[in-house]
Amino acid sequence: MFHPDGPTLVELTKQALASTTSGYDMLAPKFEHTPFRTPDALLEPMVDAIGAPVDAAMDVCCGTGAAMSHLKPLCRERVVGIDVSGGMLDQARVNLEAAPGEARVELYVQDTLEMAFDEEFDVITCCGAFGHILEPQQDRFIGRVRAALKPGGRFVFVTAPMPSVADPAWWAARSFNAVMHVRNALKSPPFIMFYLTFPLERASELLWSHGFDVAVSSPYGDTEFPRARLVVATKR
């Protein structure tokens, strides 16, 4: 559907009818050939923003390791990835072996809402996965991220301002969400994936209320993602 080596429409439909975890397990071998894998054009400015090497970094909802491959050469000691899908982590393991850098790679099957790291990381990233965290769970999520960061540690991610209702992107996202609500009402277990749940405005407010200083920049003007914003939230 997206690429000759990517999933077919039938495979994508089966994935969406499975639970979030088994859907990603099914998609894992072909995930790199989908637009759901965060493009390097979005990841590179994140790495630039981190700048100097750090001891330890973690990518939450790491998938097949797209962000971790960029973080590994930046880390002196360890680079950690967590994801609910063991299938995605199997692919990440292979991809990270080929990535440059000497940091120890640690991959854990874990729900991001259950992560229990205690001030271990200089940097935490999360890419292309906020739609899997329901709005009522966001407080808990940010709390877990904060607990896992060292004092002064940074949570680095990309989001975008909420589009206006005049923007076709707003309607496309809302229509997708409506289909997912119907799907989840009719079929269990649910597939948790909704758009526009963590726009820049909401993310900034939540992070501020959880004790982060928030810096926003726009390094994506010349890319195919001009509305994207890079957020660096520093734990106060």
Ligand X SMILES: C[S@@+](CC[C@H](N)C(=O)[O-])C[C@H]1O[C@@H](n2cnc3c(N)ncnc32)[C@H](O)[C@@H]1O
Q: Pick from 11, 90, 111, 120: which binds ligand X (CB under 6 A)?
A: 111
User: Position of tokens 């966001």?
Assistant: 138
Q: Pick from 57, 61, 80, 105: which binds ligand X (CB under 6 A)?
A: 61
Q: Pick from 15, 20, 69, 138: which binds ligand X (CB under 6 A)?
A: 20
Region near ligand X per CB under 6 A, out of 111-119, 171-179, 197-205, 208-216? 111-119
Cα 99–chain centre separation: 19
Interface with ligand X in residues 112-141 (CB under 6 A): 112-113, 127-129, 132
CB 111 within 8 A of CB 47: no
Residue nearer to ligand X on the CB measure, 28 or 200: 28
Residue 62 binding ligand X, by CB under 6 A: yes
Would you tell me how many other CB atoms lie within 10 Å of the CB of residue 116? 8
Residue 93 binding ligand X, by CB under 6 A: no
Residue 211, token pair as written in the block: 């004790």
CA 172-176-178 angle, 5° bins: 115
How many residues belong to the site for ligand X (CB under 6 A)?
21
Residue nearest to ligand X (CB): 63
Which strand ranges, in their side-by-side order, compose the sheet holding 212-217?
A: 104-109, 75-83, 54-60, 121-126, 149-159, 229-235, 212-217
Residue nearer to ligand X on the CB measure, 189 or 208: 189
In angstroms, the CA 190 to CA 66 distance is: 25
Would you tell me how many other CB atoms lie within 10 Å of the CB of residue 37? 16
Residue 24 binding ligand X, by CB under 6 A: yes
Element (H, E) at 233: strand 229-235
Residue 146 binding ligand X, by CB under 6 A: no
Residue 212 binding ligand X, by CB under 6 A: no
Residue 197 binding ligand X, by CB under 6 A: no
Nearest distance, CB of residue 101 and ligand X, angstroms: 18
Q: Which chain residues interact with ligand X by CB under 6 A?
A: 20, 24, 36-38, 61-63, 66, 82-85, 88, 111-113, 127-129, 132
